Amino acid sequence: DLCVILGNLFDNAIEASLALPEDRRLIRVYMDMKGTQLYISFTNFTATAKQKKIGRRFATTKGAGHGFGLVRIDNLIEKLDGYLSRNSEDGAFTTEILIPQL
């Protein structure tokens, strides 16, 4: 489950970063235990303006047949009884996750 979460976050961040000049690319990953929960913070710079949400989810910018990675993450976080927050601003996208550890 953790590999799917991190893999999708990295895939999205790398793809978004490729649209930037090399000297402006940044992906920041922070992971730590917060009490009995695994905390993950994932931020990447983007070349886009603030992304729009459709309902509770951000719309894919990749076109038809894409956008399933975030849904997979959402489903896993729900299955693991975790917490997920996403934030899009002009030039940056952040995901924060808390996953209870048994």
Contact 11, 69 (CB under 8 A): yes
The pLDDT of residue 59: 60
Structural domain harbouring 48: 2-100
The pLDDT of residue 48: 87
- pLDDT, tens digit only, all 102 positions of the chain: 999 999 999 999 999 999 999 999 999 999 999 999 999 999 999 998 888 767 666 666 655 555 688 899 999 999 999 999 999 999 999 999 999 997
Return the exposure string of 38-67: e unless at least 16 CB atoms fall within 10 Å of the residue's CB, then b.
bebebbbbbeeeebeeeeeebebeeeeeeb
Looking at residue 23, which CATH number applies to its domain? 3.30.565.10
As given in the structure block, the two tokens for residue 5 are 């979460």
Domain count, the chain: 1
The pLDDT of residue 61: 60
Listed residue (93, 101, 78) closest to 42, CA to CA: 93
| Mean pLDDT of the residues in the chain | 89
